[in-house]
A and B are shown apart, each in its own frame.
Chain A
Amino acid sequence: MNMTVVNHHLSVGHIAIGGVASASLVLIGDSETIQLASAFDTPPESLIIGPFPEKQNNKKNEEKR
């Protein structure tokens, strides 16, 4: 495939970004190849309702119950 790109004048005033996170890129410039991948896992099984280790079951927690 043949492709021709002509870059003309590029001028930007202000860029306001809240956050750049988890394998993200803000590029002011040129690049040949960019590969960004992100996997995020919060399945229902990740919610554990169960006992905490023994040392956490102190008297204060027992009183709350």
Chain B
Amino acid sequence: MSRLSIVHFLRANAVVFSSVVQIGDSQEIRLSARALAVQRQLEYVDSREFPLLFPIFIKPIPTPPIDAEPLCRHTLHNCPLIAVHSVRVIGISSTSVVHIGSTKTVEAESRVKHIRQLTERRKEHASSRRSD
């Protein structure tokens, strides 16, 4: 038996990039995000320039194993209520969740790579370095 969540007031300004505000119970939540943030001194956009093949997008992220040890848990709800008067969230971004209610499993993964590109100051110092 899960508890009842009561929130009188919720205000979320911005919910962006596949984020969720969930009101009510859920069973399973799986979230995944891959972001490539390219900042340039000069304005230039080409979506095919960097394929998403950087190691950060491929390497598995080690997570602690679930149920490594058999656990026998007894939960007693003396008061089956979670009461919150007000929640104020400015931003929810990049596959995040604000969840009012109970859930069973949550799995989320976020991979972000930043690349910055500046113009060369002089031509004789032209050196091009690029990340793997």
Tell whether A and B belong to one assembly: yes
Q: Which residues of A contact B (CB under 8 A)?
A: 1-43, 45-53, 56, 61
Find out whether the CB atom of A15 lies under 8 angstroms from the CB atom of B106: no
Nearest CB in chain B to that of A11: its residue: B83
Find out whether the CB atom of A20 lies under 8 angstroms from the CB atom of B76: no
A41 is contacted by which of B81, B84, B103, B114 (Cβ under 8 Å)? Answer: B114
Q: Number of A-B pairs whose CB atoms are under 8 Å?
A: 240
Chain B interface residue count, CB cutoff 8 Å, equals 79
A13 is contacted by which of B81, B85, B101, B117 (Cβ under 8 Å)? Answer: B85
Can you list the 9 inter-chain pairs with the closest CB atoms, starting with the nearest? Answer: A50-B128, A23-B110, A23-B108, A29-B102, A22-B110, A45-B131, A42-B114, A37-B61, A38-B110
When distances are taken between beta carbons in the complex, the residues of chain B under 8 Å from A8 are: 78-79
Is the C-beta of B53 less than 8 angstroms from some C-beta in chain A? no
Instruction: Select the residue from A4, A13, A19 with max chain B CB neighbours within 10 A.
Output: A19
When distances are taken between beta carbons in the complex, the residues of chain A under 8 Å from B19 are: 20
Cα of A7 to Cα of B80 in the assembled complex, Å? 8
Is the C-beta of B48 less than 8 angstroms from some C-beta in chain A? no
Find out whether the CB atom of B106 lies under 8 angstroms from the CB atom of A33: yes
Find out whether the CB atom of B108 lies under 8 angstroms from the CB atom of A37: yes
Cα of A3 to Cα of B73 in the assembled complex, Å? 5
When distances are taken between beta carbons in the complex, the residues of chain B under 8 Å from A51 are: 119-120, 126, 128
Find out whether the CB atom of A47 lies under 8 angstroms from the CB atom of B118: yes
Find out whether the CB atom of A25 lies under 8 angstroms from the CB atom of B108: yes
When distances are taken between beta carbons in the complex, the residues of chain A under 8 Å from B47 are: none
Find out whether the CB atom of A18 lies under 8 angstroms from the CB atom of B76: no
Interface bits B90-107 vs A (CB < 8 Å: 1, else 0): 111111111111111111
Find out whether the CB atom of A41 lies under 8 angstroms from the CB atom of B113: yes
Q: How far is the CB of A64 from chain B (nearest CB, A)?
A: 9
